[in-house]
Amino acid sequence: MNNEKGRIFTITDQNGVTKEYEILFTFDSEETKNSYIVFTDNNKDNDGNIITYAATYVKKDDKLELNDIKTEKEWTLIENLLSQIEDKISGE
């Protein structure tokens, strides 16, 4: 993470392109024993929805090591959590 608030981080891909992302939230799962990060670059899809990404992470020193989500069970966990958050926001 590279800013004072800790909500923005950058990723440099294998082609040397660096992109900035905003952390929406992180959580730990007792069920999978993994830590997850949900983040966005604040771009929108064709329907006007903000595109979000998710990964597992391990914090090493001051850096995050992101890893791909490997199972459908993990994706379902994340999608359900996002749905609950969206429902709560819509109800306010």
Q: What's the pLDDT tens digit per position in 18-71?
A: 999 999 999 999 999 999 999 999 999 999 988 999 999 998 887 888 999 999
| 70-83: average pLDDT | 92
Torsion of CA 75, 79, 81, 86, to 10 degrees: 160
Round to whole Å and give the CA distance between 41 and 22: 6
The domains of the chain are located at 8-91
Round to whole Å and give the CA distance between 63 and 27: 17
Does residue 72 surpass a pLDDT of 90? yes
Question: What's the pTM?
Answer: 0.81
Task: Look at residue 4 in the predicted model and tell me its pLDDT.
Answer: 42
